[in-house]
Amino acid sequence: MSSSSNFIVNSADSGIGCFYRLLHWGPCIALTVIGIVSSCSIICDLQWWPPTTLWGGVHLIVFCFWVTATLYNFFNAAFLGPGHVPRNWAPKSKRDEDKLQQCIVCKGFKAPRSHHCRKCGKCVMKMDHHCPWINNCVGHFNHANFTYFLAFAPAGCLHGLCILIPSMYRAVTKNYFIRYGSEYDPIVTLSVTMFIFSMLAVGLAVGVIIAVGGLCIIQIRSIIKNETSIESWINDKAHWRRRDTDEEWIYPYDLGWRENLRQVFSSFYKSDGYRWTVKEGCNQYTLTVEQLQQKAEKRERAITYVATEKYNGSWFPISKGICVACCPPCVDEPRIPLLNGDKVSVTRWRK
């Protein structure tokens, strides 16, 4: 913990313990995909475009840059973490406590823009979401590294496709090039196993370009608005609450796209995770007060239901019928086990 700014950045992940973060299905799959695509691409590239030539060497160096940049930002995003609000944290002024939400788990107040993550068990600074692929939350301190990772991975896979597909073609038509090609035509030889792995690498690379590239676009759009995915929901609700009034809702953190980009990609952090630069006419607690008002209205709209059957919390409750089992909510939130007679307070999903 820093005495000056009073924040925690993955304090439990220091030393050897940080590598336990990788012992999870998300990082294991991500690193396996990176390993397969990069190794197959390099093996094919060494045959198709040998590095003994000038452009062959440049070609290989550029591809290795994509791989290195992807891994560097992947590990930084996973190990550095988003920054966590310490347990029992409270604002310096007692007067500000009424403007903040309390966290029952952390037994303290939630700093502006922070939210509690069930999976991490901590309040995360400027929390965007919990990413299973890095087995960590995306937030204040690792937002830039995570976005760079989302950008470099599809770029490397696109380059990999430009290597793999021509190499596989030359491997299939190797006899033609031996018989009719010139002495300058490269001969690519792939074993059956290597060819299968190359096909797998092509499929994985296409998947990464589509899926991760799409996530990158979503992240860039959020950064341009200086709005996390959670804040996007709050912002939508704030506008919805005022739909029939003349009151205007001003999102406090949208400082213009240039400054919004600097807030994330600047070489120096623009915030300590507690105090943020806000738009004129707003203050540090504009959004937190709005959250408190939204939650108060949500409690007023809540309807109490009584459970008539026991439910064990399973994701696919076959005992409740095929229709119920096949239509679970499309969220990764934990299910609540119920006993007959339990009372549940139910609200609408987004608004």
For residues 250 and 314, the model is more confident at: 250
How does residue 320 score in pLDDT terms, banded at 50, 70 and 90?
A: confident
DSSP track, 168-201 = HHHHHTHHHHHHHS-TTS------HHHHHHHHHH
CA dist., res. 51 & res. 56, Å (int): 4
Among 169-173, 201-205, 213-217, 292-296, name the one with the lowest average pLDDT.
169-173
Query: Whole-angstrom Cα distance, residue 232 to residue 289?
Result: 16
pLDDT at 3 over 70: no
Catalytically active residues are 131
- In degrees rounded to 5, what are phi and psi of residue 130? -95, 120
pLDDT score at 350:
60
Closest among 22, 34, 16, 93 to 212, alpha carbons compared? 34
Mean pLDDT, the chain, rounded, equals 89
The CA distance from 245 to 186, in Å, is 71
- Helix, strand and coil content of the chain, in percent to the nearest 5, comes to 50, 10, 40
> 83: part of which helix (H) or strand (E)?
none
User: 30-84, pLDDT tens digit by residue?
Assistant: 999 999 999 999 999 999 888 888 888 998 999 999 999 999 999 999 999 999 9
Residue 134 Cα to chain centre, angstroms: 8
β-pair partners for 237: none
Q: What is the DSSP letter of 309?
A: S
